Structure 1
């Protein structure tokens, strides 16, 4: 699939925007080189299509794995993992870059390949647990 033509209302047309977790997706954040290594491992395991993964180039150099809404709850996660979800009395926001143009400090480490494609939560959790 040509990822440059993916149409999804959660992907901004230009620049970057914050999206409320729990609407289109939740996210799992892993900071720094460990997040990048996990993203690349998922790409290898999935034949190059791990689902949408955003990376940040400054600050904590976060990597955001966009997962299905509600898929991170009721599971144990390793230290260093931040779940970005929404619930009663709690709201999280996930930064999302456009597919093209100026989006610094965000970029797509792995672009979305379909409007409803997400990172497989159990595969992500297994990869994270194998790196503990």
Structure 2
């Protein structure tokens, strides 16, 4: 993938914080729950769920990037944290497409310009996963 196919909010190297609600909103899910959501989302999309950032240390958060403003269109269950117009001044770490980006990485590869996780499908999967979880 060449850099001109990448959105301008993906840094050239390392990782950078990006203010949510500008280029994207994000839904954050912790640890194995985030991986379970991603697994079901990938199954539902033929392995192409859209841009997903994984944190490999600490809380092992998974961030699902959706179009800017779209998080407000859904009710997110407990266990899913909304970053976007439903919250103020929140940032998400965005890794570069290649190179050392520890502790962040693209879970399904870096996004192409205009590519996002489908917010309605994500809401459906997150709601099903978190409401079925005994720790939910």
TM-score of the alignment, normalized to the shorter chain, above 0.5: yes
In structure 2, how many angstroms separate the alpha carbons of the residues matched to 1:112 and 1:14? Answer: 12
Q: Deviations over 1:58-113 (max 9, x none)?
A: 111100000011111142211111001147x8211011000100000001111244
What is the aligned partner in structure 1 of residue 123 from structure 2? 125
What is the aligned partner in structure 1 of residue 64 from structure 2? 65
CA contact under 8 A between 2:7 and 2:111: conserved in structure 1? no
CA contact under 8 A between 2:74 and 2:120: conserved in structure 1? no
What is the aligned partner in structure 2 of residue 43 from structure 1? 42
The TM-score normalised by the length of structure 2 is 0.88
Instruction: Select the residue among 96, 99, 124 that pairs with 1:98.
Output: 96
What is the aligned partner in structure 2 of residue 30 from structure 1? 29
Q: Kindly report the root-mean-square deviation, in angstroms, between the aligned alpha carbons of the 2 structures.
A: 1.5
Q: Of Structure 1 and Structure 2, which has the larger fraction of its residues in helix?
A: 2
Matched, 1:114 2:79: no
Instruction: Give the secondary structure class of the aligned counterpart of 1:72.
Output: helix
Aligned pair count?
128
Moved more, 58-67 or 34-43: 34-43
Moved more, 75-84 or 108-117: 108-117
Q: Which consecutive residues of structure 2, in runs of 5 or more, have no partner in the other structure? A: 132-136
Q: Deviations over 1:5-51 (max 9, x none)?
A: 33221110000000111111010000101101111211111111100
CA contact under 8 A between 2:19 and 2:92: conserved in structure 1? yes
CA contact under 8 A between 2:30 and 2:61: conserved in structure 1? yes
The TM-score normalised by the length of structure 1 is 0.90
